[in-house]
């Protein structure tokens, strides 16, 4: 666990005055964890604001937690978990590993907050003295469990990257019929034959508790090579990120049924392909994945997705999500493209500049990624210029 106690003092304070909604600020690790412990069992939230995610992240992250509760008159509180980033702004905890964000609260309380509207919510946050120029709420779900997100405003913008997913309706055979069944089965049989020639393989649908750390260490090793080859900054390199995932998957495995799952293909007892998944509200979401480059010709990553999709369908799950990001291997399975929203709440004059810059960057990134020629060129340039990573 990272000790942030020397940098911040844990405090909980309610902003005085007659503002509606009333704001309570839980600053520092202990206060934030206490706010997490107070989340009601029937709260609506995404997988990235679940209690297990927040506890694991706050326990490892060097960033100061600044959790904010907003309570409309005659309603219960809605928790907006935030942390202070290196730029000094506030954002959802989890850095790039939180994809599909949503505040936490009972359905009726979220609806009551949404009914207040953007102007009153923003006014209350500006009056709260949060010590930041802006609140940057990226990759937000428009709704969760049929409840609207009160922080997706009319002036919010579309996030640059979509979330791609596959419905599992009808079972695996029905899924394959919609996705070149004959070709995919033939490819899978060929992959099995190739691995049989190497002594065989083992599909592990749920890595057990004793192997979580070993598997995640192997993932970090393999993923670092891929990032290096692509010229991309390794978002899994920081010790607090690695510690977070070890804590998160250990905690998720203790739930019934497990909410966090590591899946692998092993050859000779060594993982050659790994994915880390979240199971939440009938949906299995792949949070990360990688494979050993020396097996590239066989396609172990593709093989693992085939097995994982089959297993998820056999379990009766509703949806298999490939998470955020648009890649050809995802498009090969994808049937649903979901767009998320970014909201920047300026708290100061300088925050307005932050908001303008974020919006401009989002539009630019989305434009580049929607143009195959431009995106290919940018990826080539990125390999050569470290500052673009």
pLDDT higher than threshold 80 for residue 290:
yes
pLDDT of residue 374: 64
pLDDT in tens, 67-89: 999 999 999 999 999 999 988 99
Whether 4 has a pLDDT exceeding 60, the answer reads: no
386 has pLDDT over 80: no
Lowest mean pLDDT among 37-46, 116-125, 225-234, 263-272: 225-234
Distance between start and end Cα atoms, the chain = 28
Decide: helix, strand or coil at residue 224.
helix
Mean pLDDT confidence for 342-366: 80
| Rounded distance between C-alpha atoms, residue 168 and residue 163, angstroms | 16
Fold classification of 164-324 (topology level): Aminopeptidase (3.40.630)
Question: Residue 381 — pLDDT band, cuts 50, 70, 90?
Answer: low
pLDDT per position as a tens digit, 231-263: 889 999 999 999 999 999 999 999 999 999 999
CA–CA separation, 11 and 32 (whole Å): 9
Q: Residue 19 in contact with residue 2, Cβ under 8 Å? A: no
Task: Please choose, from the candidates 53, 48, 112, the residue with its C-alpha nearest in 3D space to the C-alpha of residue 78.
Answer: 112
Question: Residue 319: helix, strand or coil by DSSP?
Answer: strand
pLDDT digits (tens, 9 = 90+) for 320-339: 999 998 888 899 999 999 99
Give the pLDDT confidence of 292-314 residue by residue, as tens digits: 999 999 999 999 999 999 999 99
Say which residues have a Cβ less than 8 Å from residue 356's Cβ, sequence separation at least 6.
none
Q: What is the pLDDT of residue 372?
A: 65
Average pLDDT, the chain: 91
Question: pLDDT tens for residues 92-103?
Answer: 999 999 999 999
What is the rounded average pLDDT of the residues 194-222?
Answer: 97
**In the prediction, which pLDDT does 350 show?**
87
Q: 153-163: per-residue pLDDT in tens?
A: 999 999 989 99
Which two three-digit tokens encode residue 365? 């990134």
C-alpha span between 348 and 357 (Å, rounded): 14
Find the mean pLDDT for residues 265-278: 98
**pLDDT exceeds cutoff 50 at 7:** no
What average pLDDT does range 111-124 have in this prediction? 97
Asked if residues 18 and 123 have their Cβ atoms less than 8 Å apart, the reply is no
């Amino acid at each position: 666990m990272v000790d942030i106690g020397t940098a911040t003092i844990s405090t909980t304070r309610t902003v005085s005055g007659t503002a509606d909604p009333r704001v309570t600020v839980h600053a520092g690790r202990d206060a934030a964890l206490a706010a997490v412990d107070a989340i009601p069992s029937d709260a609506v939230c995404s997988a990235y604001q679940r209690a297990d995610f927040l506890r694991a992240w706050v326990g490892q992250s060097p960033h100061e937690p600044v959790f904010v509760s907003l309570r409309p008159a005659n309603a219960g509180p809605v928790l907006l978990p935030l942390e202070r980033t290196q730029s000094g702004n506030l954002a959802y905890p989890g850095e790039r590993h939180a994809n599909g964000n949503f505040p936490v609260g009972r359905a009726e309380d979220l609806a009551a907050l949404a009914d207040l509207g953007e102007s009153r919510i923003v006014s209350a946050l500006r009056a709260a003295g949060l010590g930041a120029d802006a609140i940057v709420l990226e990759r937000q779900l428009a709704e969760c469990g049929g409840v609207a997100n009160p922080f997706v405003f009319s002036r919010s913008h579309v996030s640059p990257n979509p979330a791609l997913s596959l419905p599992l309706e009808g079972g695996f055979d029905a899924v394959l019929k919609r996705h070149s069944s004959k070709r995919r089965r033939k490819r899978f049989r060929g992959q099995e034959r190739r691995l049989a020639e190497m002594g065989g393989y083992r599909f592990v649908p749920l890595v057990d508790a004793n192997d979580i750390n070993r598997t995640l260490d192997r993932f970090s090793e393999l993923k670092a090579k891929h990032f290096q080859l692509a010229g991309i900054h390794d978002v899994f390199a920081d010790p607090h990120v690695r510690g977070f995932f070890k804590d998160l998957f250990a905690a998720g495995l203790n739930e019934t049924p497990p909410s966090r799952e590591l899946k692998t293909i092993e050859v000779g007892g060594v993982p050659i392909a790994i994915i880390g998944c979240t199971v939440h509200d009938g949906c299995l979401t792949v949070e990360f994945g990688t494979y050993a480059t020396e097996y590239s010709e066989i396609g172990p990553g593709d093989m693992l997705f085939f097995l994982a999709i089959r297993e998820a369908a056999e379990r009766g799950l509703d949806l298999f999500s490939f998470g955020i990001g648009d890649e050809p291997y995802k498009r090969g399975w994808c049937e649903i493209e979901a767009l998320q929203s970014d909201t920047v709440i300026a708290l100061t004059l300088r925050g307005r500049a932050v908001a303008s810059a974020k919006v401009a960057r989002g539009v630019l990134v989305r434009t580049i990624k929607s143009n195959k020629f431009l995106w290919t060129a940018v990826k080539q340039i990125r390999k050569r210029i470290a500052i673009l990573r």
